[in-house]
Amino acid sequence: MPWAIPLIAVSLTYIFGRLQSHASHKKQQCQLRYDSFYVPFVSRLYAGYMWERPFSSNDVQARSVFFDLIVKNVQFLGHRSQALLPEVYKSFLDMLEYDEGNPGYLGAPEIYDSTMNRFTKAMLEEGSLMSRKLRLPNLCKPFEVLGYLSQEQHKT
């Protein structure tokens, strides 16, 4: 059976090559998710000084920036943040009604803040996991240090 050794070598090379290709593909997809959604979202959190004030304090244009980023990148959301998407959508629409002075939406800012804080917390946790997988600095860690996730105004 002199043919068995080359056959085993070729088979093992093929199997290890496929495993390496699969791992490389998963890492590329994780990097794409991280770069396309998590980095821009965290950047906007920093730009808006969002650890100091509620989301509802933003004007409609600033709220729309967050909303557009979320909706246009829904394919990159993790399970927890994706599960909150219907609430994010509804609370965003309710804030538009509130901005128009509709008296039926007086509680919209509190609901919007609660929803966006839960979404942001889920997103920050997902982003932290991805940064570890990618061996990148954790962009989300400073929000823990700043107390974003533990401040009274940002209770979830």
On average, the pLDDT of the chain sits at 85
Span 108-132, pLDDT tens digits:
999 999 999 999 999 998 988 888 8
- Enumerate the domain spans of the chain: 30-154
Q: Is the model's pLDDT at 149 over the cut of 60?
A: no
Q: Could you tell me what percent of the chain has a pLDDT over 90?
A: 51
Q: What is the 3-state secondary structure (H, E, C) of 37-67?
A: HHHHHHHHHHHCCCCCCCHHHCCHHHHHHHH
C-alpha distances (whole Å) from 80 to each of 9, 86, 98, 124 are 43, 12, 27, 11
Q: How far apart (Å, rounded) are the C-alpha atoms in residues 154 and 5?
A: 63
Per-residue DSSP letters for 86-97? Answer: HHHHHHHHHHHH
Span 131-141, pLDDT tens digits:
889 998 888 77
Q: Is the model's pLDDT at 21 over the cut of 50?
A: yes
Q: How far apart (Å, rounded) are the C-alpha atoms in residues 128 and 45?
A: 15
| Cβ atoms of residues 130 and 38 within 8 Å | yes
Stated pTM of the model: 0.78
